[in-house]
Structure 1
Amino acid sequence: MSDAVVPAFSMAERDRRWDLARAFMDREGLDALLVFGEHEDAGPAPFAYDTWFTNGRAGTTVIFPRGGDPVVLFPMEMFARDHLESTRRGDTMWVPPRGIRSQRRDSHAIAATLDELGLAEKTIGVVGLDVYPPWHPEGIVPYGLWNNILERFPGADFRPVALALSRVVMPLGPEEIAVVRHSAGIGDAMARAMVGTAAAGVSESEVYAAGMHAGYARGTVPAAMHFWSGPAPLASGLPQWGYRPQAPRILRDGDVISAEVFCNFGGRHTQHQVTITIGEPHVNLLRAAKVARAAYDAGLAALRPGRTFGDVVDAMREPLDAADGWEFGPSVHALNPAVTLSGFPADAGRNIAGSEAYPPEADHPTINGDLELRPGMTFAFEPNYAFGQHLAYIGGTVVVGEEGAVELNPYTARILRAAGAVTPAA
């Protein structure tokens, strides 16, 4: 276990963010921001803009008047008790008790706070009404709540601003970069623990547990990882035994583990594509890995300040389009927050055996390709490619540096070989 100092956020980081929010409101002609946050157990790619303002538990609603400090609506009294206990222990709390409301965060609490702050007929930017890929194609705000607010405040001008605000949030400051690096290191440790555990005769759940334990032991609570195994797995999601009553698979010689590791440290997310082979990898898997690696390298070369996200997508597409296999999913998306996603053809729906029984898929367009890259932005590089039914999925977290890409996870940007002894499966 490393003895490295664990990074933290200071009050200077809070002031940097709050100043950015006030400047954003000035530019956009807003009197306030109304920020909805998703439940803290949302999993990967959470809608957690609220934590950017609070450095606290996810699942709150933030109302930030341009001329004052933010007010935070907690979903239950337990949040306030946790805040109090953290204060008693000497933690640095960004929002003082006077800025907290514990009467739930329903439409009545929001209305009371808007009235309290004199915002009943003002222009309010709303974070939560915009598209947020991949889980929220039409925002996260509940219909009943929002309908009540619109009826209660007919004189207010509510404007969706999450996409515009994301371009303020995405360039991370120095303290945030340190936290992302720490998260990336934990993610690598999780992948290494999985490699060290995987072997024929071992249960999938043991490999999964080894990875999660490495995250917990290093002081974070990672989101549940995506995990599939088999001779040639063509899926991406929670393991089947995570949502259906069935036993985990027992790994066999020749199997492949395809996993997405999601590490979250201090509200900053990193992502790690893990492909582990048990025994000798199939020749088509190695061929696919070469194509995926070429896309990865092309993306690294293109990820430079002043270029656009679409430029990166185009660069990564070149080696993919030139090969004669097929793509499984997107090759790159943004992190912190996840507001951009590369487009990809609907190859999976055409090339997986048995897919003809399912509704046809359409090609997937790139989302927010016009985003201009700025230093401090973070992205999940996850190029993937398949020959036949053999899929290679590699990559990790990459930061836009002052001069170009800063690669945080070269360890997972390749096929990994299981370290465990290969023994006959039971």
Structure 2
Amino acid sequence: MTINVPAYSLAERDRRWALARELMEAEGIDALIAYGEHECADLAPFAPDTYFTNDRPGSIVIFCRDADPIELVWSNLPIQDHIEATKRGDQMWFEPRNIRVGRNATGVIEVLREHRLENAAVGVLGLDPFPPFHILPIMPHALWSQVLADLPEATFKAVGMSYLFATICQSEEELAVIRYSADSGEAMARAMLEATAPGVDEAEIFTAGMSAAFRRGTAAPQMLLWSGPGFVSWGSPAWAYRPQAPRVVQDGDVVLAEAFCRFGMKETQTQVAIAVGDIHPDLEEAAVIARAAYDAGLAAAQVGNSFGDLAEAMLGVLKEADAWNIHPMVHTLNPYGPVCGFGQGLSRVPEALEYGRLFELPTMGGELPLAPGMTFAFEPNAVIGGRAMNLGCTVVIGEDGPIELNPYTAQLLRA
């Protein structure tokens, strides 16, 4: 299969490095530390390091005044990769002299002292919450407490919100990568639909979707998936974490999935809903409500509105229909940040009242103004009679209105 694969240029690197320095100037800081989550992180990775390196995730990147940034890696392995990539002729963003082993407190302190920043104001990415999965800051306590102890005269400040505002509007090169990722997500959905039939187990459907993504060279695809005649669960299939057989799909089931594609460290999401034969009327009604919420979201996804306007437009459809949502209706991508509220309706499920404490997340980041180039996971979901339906795709805010990247899954598919 021959495919045209977009790539990033050195002009994109220079644009991103310039954004870092503009952030530093705006925040009044002399250095910027970008802590990246370890490599092989699963969903929603915290990876500002790769934003600046275009390289293997799991490093710490430090900008010091006007000098080229330094990348601190955890072992020789990323350096070995850099050597081989250079041999292949890949266009690398960092020169070897600016990469060193030392992804730890000692390494951070060493870089700051080399640039005589022991008494400086330093911005940090990693000290802010990073929803949806990192409600608390991701910076390791042992690492950060040592930095604070060894550099008592320095002033450190969290600059995560400034980073979000600086990077959330994608460049043309980034949008090309995001479109490629979204196309891979649609390929996953089509393959899953083709594989779905009574007598097929969840693992076969999962495999069909993942294979379609891997064939396109999409890195780290992942999937949430559940099946049955009706349920309020959401997450990885149970056989992914418990030793049990994958469930066999039956006539009358619905297969719901959320497919994650990540290409060039840009993520898109594809919401897959597949009806297997005739499904329960509550599921059909929930699909209509979810689609109405999707359309309401598109109408609100306009420059001049806020993320809060967008979230409330989608939630309003649920309220009017007396339905509720098992997960957010919409959230930002690239990077993650503002997220629509969810969790309130679980108290309607009688079995839920037996648990010690339930959770409700209010909409976070509602004040974010919508601007061209922002990317969102549209994932409207509705529960009717204890049966959930979920559909949607990735949407970009355009100058003249929303751009649906993979609208094939903004509907109930039928096997």
Q: TM-score range by the shorter chain?
A: over 0.9
2:149 partner letter: E
**Structure 1 residue 84 displacement after superposition:** 0.7
Counterparts of 2:54 and 2:315, CA distance in 1: 37
**Cα displacement (A) at 1:321:** 1.1
Tell me whether 1:210 sits opposite 2:208 in the alignment. yes
- 1:353 deviates by 4.5
Shift of 1:362: 4.5
C-alpha separation in 1, matches of 2:367 and 2:353: 35
- The size of the alignment, in residue pairs, is 415
Separation of aligned partners in 1, 2:114 and 2:121: 15
Q: How far apart are residue 295 of structure 1 and its match?
A: 1.0
Deviation digits for residues 91-148 of structure 1, max 9, x if unmatched?
A: 010111011012x311111111111122211111000000111221221111111110
Within a 5 Å distance, the mapping from 1:87-106 to structure 2 comes to: 87-102=86-101, 104-106=102-104
Q: Does 1:133 align with 2:168?
A: no
Report the secondary structure of 1:374's partner residue. coil
Matched, 1:84 2:79: no
Contact 2:324 2:382 in 1 (8 A): yes
Shift of 1:33: 0.4
Residue in structure 2 matching 1:383, options 362, 380, 384: 380
CA distance in 2, matches of 1:166, 1:343: 19
2:263 aligns with one of 262, 265, 277: 265
Counterpart contact for 1:272–1:412, Cα < 8 Å: yes
Offset at 1:154?
A: 0.6
Structure 2 vs 1, CA of residues 345 and 216 (structure 1 numbering), >3 Å: closer, same or farther? Answer: closer
Could you tell me the TM-score, scaled by structure 2's length?
A: 0.98
The reply to whether residue 40 of structure 1 matches residue 39 of structure 2 is yes
Match of 1:310 in 2: 308
Name the TM-score, length of structure 1 as normaliser: 0.95
Q: Is this contact kept in 1: 2:232–2:383, CA < 8 A?
A: no
**Counterpart in the other structure of 1:367:** 364
Say if 2:324 and 2:344, in contact at 8 Å, map to a contact too.
no
Q: Does 1:405 align with 2:402?
A: yes
Aligned to 2:199: 201
Instruction: Choose 357-366 or 106-115, whichever is displaced more.
Output: 357-366
- What code does the residue aligned with 1:140 have? I
Quick check: 1:324 aligned with 2:322? yes
Distance (whole Å) between structure 1 residues aligned to residue 27 and residue 177 of structure 2: 30
Structure 2 equivalent of residue 31 of structure 1: 30
Classify the secondary structure of the residue corresponding to 1:354.
Answer: helix
Partner-residue secondary structure (3-state), 2:243: coil
Alignment of 1:56-75 (within 5 A): 56-75=55-74
| Aligned partner of residue 123 in structure 2, secondary structure | strand
Give the corresponding residue for 1:221. Answer: 219
How far apart are the structure 2 equivalents of 1:357 and 1:42?
A: 33
> What are the equivalent positions in structure 2 for 1:274-293 lying under 5 Å apart?
274-293=272-291
Q: How far apart, CA to CA, are the structure 2 residues paired with 1:223 and 1:41?
A: 12
Task: Work out whether residues 296 and 395 of structure 1, in 8 Å CA contact, stay in contact via their aligned partners in 2.
Answer: yes
Q: Counterparts of 1:234 and 1:190 in 2: how far apart (Å)? A: 23
Unaligned ranges ≥5, structure 2: none
Unpaired segments of 5 or more residues in structure 1? 419-426
Code of the residue aligned with 2:366 in structure 1: it is G
Amino acid across the alignment from 2:97: R
Q: Secondary structure at the match of 2:273?
A: strand
Contact 2:234 2:326 (C-alpha < 8 Å) held by counterparts:
no
Paired with 2:243 and 2:158, the residues of 1 have a C-alpha distance of 41
1:186 is aligned, of 181, 184, 187, to 184
Separation in structure 1 between the aligned mates of residue 28 and residue 325 of structure 2, nearest angstrom? 43
Match of 2:49, SS state, is: helix
Question: Structure 1, residues 323-345: CA drift from partner, whole Å, max 9, x if none?
Answer: 12322221000000111101135
Q: Does 2:162 correspond to 1:164?
A: yes
Maintained 8 Å contact 1:224/1:238? no
| Alpha-carbon separation, structure 2, partners of 1:412 and 1:41 | 28
1:395 aligns with 2:395: no
- The amino acid across from 1:282 in the alignment is H
Match of residue 232 from structure 2:
234
The offset of 1:258, in angstroms, is 1.2
In 2, distance between residues paired with 1:80 and 1:118?
Answer: 26
* Structure 1 letter corresponding to 2:66: G
Contact 2:229–2:280, Cα closer than 8 Å, also in 1: no
Runs of 4+ in 1 over 3 A off after TM superposition: none
Secondary structure of 1:73's aligned partner: strand
Cα RMSD after superposing both structures: 1.2
Per-residue CA shift, 1:243-269, capped at 9, x if unaligned? 111111111111111111000011100
Displacement after TM superposition at 1:364 (Å):
2.0
Taking only the aligned residue pairs, the percentage that are identical comes to: 49
Contact 1:234 1:352 in 2 (8 A): no
Cα distance in 2 between the residues matched to 1:387 and 1:395: 18
CA contact (8 A) 1:305 1:373 kept: yes
